[in-house]
Amino acid sequence: MPDYDYDLFVMGVGSGGVRAARMSSLYGARVATAEDKYMGGTCVNVGCVPKKLLVYASHFAEEYQHAEGFGWDSVSPSFNWDLLLKNKNREISRLNDIYSGLLDDAGVTHFDGRARIVDAHHISINDQVLSTEKILIATGGWPVMLEWPGIEHAITSNEAFHLESLPGHILVLGGGYIAVEFAGIFNGLGVDSHLSYRGEIFLRGFDMDVRTTVRVELEKKGVTLHFKTVVVGIEKLADGKLKVLFDDGTDMLTDMVLCAVGRLPAVSDIGLENVNVACRENGAIIVDEQFRTSETNIFALGDVTGKVQLTPVALAEAMAFASTQFKGEPKVMDYEGIATAVFCQPNIGTIGLTEEEAADKYDEIEVYLSHFRPMKHTLSGSDEKSMMKLIVEKSTDKIVGVHMVGADAGEIIQGIAIAFKAGVTKTMFDSTVGIHPTTAEEFVTMREPVAVS
């Protein structure tokens, strides 16, 4: 039996990498990790956590306005970007320390630096070569930058968390959840925010009622949406302004361009060319249900595999990996019924099939849909509407899709996700007594379908 330095070497200490390393070590494995960027990965540093903090910050302007309808005097508060950044950075630093402590407490050896695969059992890092029985690639993803003239003048979501100052005008490129979230964030912080997307409507893959509701509500809040537009270049002018060129010959002047057109697996310069690890065209590492690559002792999980790119999914994958490889209890990741949220304004919460997907899959479905003005806004003066939707397979009465746009949608869908995983039916929803007055009670009071197909 070969004598390796480690039983497991984990490349990347994002959510999945840290969880896999920590649990594998607690199960008795000798584990090492390496990272050359962020302790805690994308989510902690340039993803979920700082983004949600910015969403909170951007929403306060509306809260001040809404308060007047409840008897509070009108105020004109000022916003301090530098203070928000300082406080955000302090919180991220605290979380970095927590992640580092989790590895230390579990007895994991950590290396600061870029790890590269030498061969199936060796890793090079910081001028040394280490041997390991198994390698786990958990390097995550990285923002895509489009390739056209002047792209060097644009930023990605990574840089958006570290701006020296807020622009007066911004153009966000993209139609995914990151683009939509940042358009709302900058708008709420007082920036003249525009979003450009080449398609007819953004948020491809989400239920159409979700997409159209978010479109209407974002425009109400002041975000200018440009659909069916294609950027072909950027020119930086003498005064520092950016001139964005579109394929139809038009242009737009802006202070900043945020390129949020997607993310790709972070697989460059990690030594994959030295081993037999098969990847898809976009670089995503192909794995089996045990996260094993085509190189039998090399594994991969999280965003680098291009599956469901969500932090809780990476955590669950890591638990299954560690249990299978080092606890002796094989586990297979269940990707069915994963709930998710988008922190645009108002929020999206969703689980299960879209109406279109359900209609294709089942012989007959019923759709329950409600658009309404939340109770809060009867006094706030806001015209914001919430949307709730249930999709039911008619023959079994089983709920196969739940979608919401509205305040705290993620919080509400998280609770519904448990019932969804348990196979909840529409009859069970109908027999549940609602909590009044709440927005969430609408889910258990919808009685008449708006469509049967």
Cis peptide before 167 (omega within 30 of 0): no
Length of the chain: 453
Which element (helix H / strand E) includes 166?
none
Other C-beta atoms lying within 10 Å of the C-beta of residue 296: 10
Torsion angles phi and psi, residue 248, rounded to 5? -90, 5
Q: Compute the distance between CA of residue 316 and CA of residue 320 in angstroms, rounded to an integer.
A: 6
Question: Can you tell me whether residue 298 is helix, strand or coil?
Answer: strand
- Please confirm, yes or no, whether 436 is among the known catalytic residues: yes
Q: Are 157 and 174 in contact (CB under 8 A)?
A: no
Question: Can you tell me whether residue 333 is helix, strand or coil?
Answer: coil
Exposed, middle or buried by CB within 10 Å (0-12, 13-18, 19+), for 304? buried
Given 122, 162, 403, 436, which residue is catalytic? 436
Other C-beta atoms lying within 10 Å of the C-beta of residue 78: 5
Question: Can you tell me whether residue 252 is helix, strand or coil?
Answer: strand
Q: Compute the distance between CA of residue 401 and CA of residue 420 in angstroms, rounded to an integer.
A: 9
Q: Compute the distance between CA of residue 258 and CA of residue 321 in angstroms, rounded to an integer.
A: 36
Nearest to 14 by CA among 51, 46, 53, 50: 46
First-residue to last-residue Cα distance in the chain: 62
The residues facing 253 across adjacent strands are: 243
Q: Are 116 and 108 in contact (CB under 8 A)?
A: no
241-249 long-range contacts (CB < 8 A, ≥24 apart) are 242/150, 242/153, 244/171, 244/196, 246/196
Give the DSSP letter of residue 151.
G
Active site residues: 436
